């Protein structure tokens, strides 16, 4: 007889890692100070977008629709908001690349439910992502002919990284605790392969 497993809510993906530092920008003007796309909501949207690159998810975080976000972006006077949006997209691949690597190796989780309860789950690695990563991380051996020729002409990126690593490691220094607030890493989110403290933020920080 199969054991009955309790469904446990996992922390949101954006609770697992701090967002990257964003450039300062002047929020787009809105007609209402305490509703709609307030300056605080614009900043929260941009911060989350830099972490997830998902407009819908960032909009859900602030409790507003995706269509209204696109309207605001195209609004007169929203130039800095639009530039911050573009900057957030440019920053997001840093974390997304780590997620891609984890899913290529450890795979995504596929869950099976019966009568509303989780009864089984399995991990499915992605051969496609794995070969894609190899072709870019080691183009000399696994890249396309054009990528291999480019790497041979400009230098093997793996060899460059190998040569630079000793000096990079020597340059690392301790950061005082008062300058770097750290969370414990006791919980593994198996969807993303990232560590967190396992706590779930249930507070409503969007406001009315």
The string of pLDDT tens digits covering residues 7-18 is: 334 444 444 445
Same domain, 45 and 71: yes
Task: Check: CB of residue 101 under 8 Å from CB of residue 133.
Answer: yes
Q: pTM for this one?
A: 0.54
Give the least confident one: 42-46, 163-167, 194-198.
194-198
Same domain, 87 and 106: no
The answer to the question of residue 52 being in a domain is yes
The answer to the question of residue 34 being in a domain is yes
Same domain, 120 and 159: yes
The answer to the question of residue 200 being in a domain is no
Three-class HEC string of 74-141: CCCCCHHHHHHHHHHHHHCHHHHHHHHHHHHHCCEEEEEEECCEEEEEEEECCHHHHHHHHHHHCHHH
User: Total structural domains in the chain?
Assistant: 2
Residue 47 has what pLDDT?
A: 87
Q: How confident is the model at residue 186 (pLDDT cuts 50, 70, 90)?
A: low
The residue ranking higher by pLDDT, 135 or 175, is 135
Residue 70 has what pLDDT?
A: 92
Indicate if the pLDDT at residue 125 is higher than 60.
yes
Indicate if the pLDDT at residue 152 is higher than 60.
yes
Task: Report pLDDT digits (tens) over 158-181.
Answer: 888 888 888 888 887 776 666 666
The residue ranking higher by pLDDT, 179 or 114, is 114
Mean pLDDT of 36-58: 87
The answer to the question of residue 204 being in a domain is no
The answer to the question of residue 185 being in a domain is no
The answer to the question of residue 207 being in a domain is no
Same domain, 33 and 70: yes
Same domain, 56 and 117: no
Same domain, 105 and 168: yes
Q: What average pLDDT does the structure give for the chain?
A: 76
Which of 56, 91, 126 finishes a domain?
A: 91
Same domain, 104 and 81: no
Residue 185 has what pLDDT?
A: 64
The answer to the question of residue 199 being in a domain is no
Cα–Cα distance, 85 to 25 (Å, whole number): 10
**Domain limits at 29?**
18-91
Indicate if the pLDDT at residue 97 is higher than 70.
yes
The answer to the question of residue 81 being in a domain is yes
Indicate if the pLDDT at residue 21 is higher than 80.
no
Same domain, 133 and 153: yes
């Amino acid at each position: 007889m199969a054991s009955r497993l309790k469904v446990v809510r996992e922390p949101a993906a954006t609770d697992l890692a701090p967002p990257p530092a964003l450039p300062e920008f002047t929020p787009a003007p809105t007609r209402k100070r305490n509703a709609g796309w307030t300056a605080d909501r614009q900043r929260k949207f941009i911060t989350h977008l830099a972490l997830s690159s998902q407009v819908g998810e960032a909009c859900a975080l602030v409790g507003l629709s995706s269509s209204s976000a696109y309207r605001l972006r195209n609004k007169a006077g929203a130039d800095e908001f639009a530039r911050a949006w573009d900057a957030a997209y440019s920053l997001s691949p840093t974390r997304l690349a780590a997620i891609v690597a984890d899913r290529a190796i450890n795979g995504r989780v596929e869950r099976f439910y019966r009568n509303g309860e989780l009864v089984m789950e399995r991990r499915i690695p992605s051969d496609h992502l794995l070969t894609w990563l190899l072709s870019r991380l080691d183009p000399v051996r696994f890249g396309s002919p054009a990528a291999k020729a480019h790497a041979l002409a400009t230098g093997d990126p793996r060899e460059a990284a190998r040569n630079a690593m000793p000096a990079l490691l020597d340059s690392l220094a301790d950061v005082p605790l008062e300058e770097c607030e750290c969370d414990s890493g006791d919980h593994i989110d198996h969807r993303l392969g990232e560590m967190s403290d396992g706590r779930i933020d249930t507070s409503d920080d969007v406001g009315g």
